[in-house]
């Protein structure tokens, strides 16, 4: 489960998160910043969900992104890998953040 998702492209980075009112919110970022308090002894690692989303070595091109029409609705990203078009669905209804359909 993921509270926030960051999409990093060559020239821009986008952050997706669920607002307090339940809407999926998106904003362009210059840098990814910490959004929670950390203690001195906290340890974190970085990970990518690229292999969970895109099981390919080919370039991935985003074709379209659906815009949810209500709170807690699933966001769908249509993408192309090579000649194949596929969808990734981000469900914001999970207590710990997004889950993937």
pLDDT of residue 49: 67
Classified as helix, coil or strand, 51 is helix
CA distance 81 to 58: 6
Residue 74: both structure tokens together: 């699933």
Tens-level pLDDT at each residue, the chain (101 residues): 467 888 888 888 888 888 888 889 888 998 877 777 778 777 665 566 666 667 677 788 889 999 888 998 998 989 898 888 988 888 888 766 677 76
pLDDT of residue 6: 84
pLDDT of residue 11: 85
Q: Are 22 and 45 in contact (CB under 8 A)?
A: no
pLDDT of residue 20: 84
Give the Cα-Cα-Cα angle 93, 32, 52 (nearest 5 degrees): 50
Please give the C-alpha separations between residue 25 and each of 5, 46, 64, in angstroms, as whole numbers: 11, 22, 16
């Amino acid at each position: 489960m993921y509270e926030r998702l960051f999409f990093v492209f060559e020239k821009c980075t986008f952050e997706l998160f669920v607002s307090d009112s339940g809407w999926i919110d998106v904003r362009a970022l210059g840098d990814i910043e910490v959004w929670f308090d950390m203690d001195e002894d906290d340890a974190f690692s970085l990970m990518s969900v690229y292999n969970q989303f895109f099981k390919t070595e080919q370039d991935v091109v985003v074709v379209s992104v659906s815009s949810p029409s209500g709170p807690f609705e699933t966001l769908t990203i249509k993408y192309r890998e090579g000649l194949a078009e596929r969808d990734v669905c981000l469900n914001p209804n999970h207590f710990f953040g997004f889950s993937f359909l």
